[in-house]
Amino acid sequence: VQLQASGGGLVQAGDSLRLSCAASERTFSTYNVGWFRQAPGKEREFVARISWNGASTVYAESVKGRFTISRDNVKNTLYLQMNKLAPEDTAVYYCAASRGSLWPFSADYWGQGTQVTVSS
């Protein structure tokens, strides 16, 4: 499965962005998927994940209440709605997909990343 992330950009604090991650195969609907991010000089960190059928979502504490993860299995696309963005949200955002038992600590596929920069 190939994942193509998009939607990043330069915004001001308090603004919103919606990231998208388009999958190349219809088997996307059988994968648990999620978003991770990596800021300069920091390790990659988990942001949010959603189960294969959309029934379950989990968020990092730092984004809870501000970010919403969703998926459209007809369009083979994963989304991340980011509201009330803050400078500390600045990072490259990656989408990932997995059917493995180690998820979210390990993923089968990664997108190429999309840069989100939030100015104060």
pLDDT value for 105: 84
Q: Which two tokens stand for residue 97?
A: 């997909």
**pLDDT above 70 coverage of the chain, percent:** 100
Confidence of residue 120 (pLDDT cuts 50, 70, 90): very high
Is residue 89 pLDDT above 90, yes or no? Answer: yes
d(CA 48, CA 41): 21
| pLDDT average, residue stretch 56-72 | 97
Residue for token pair 């007809």: 74
d(CA 78, CA 100): 18
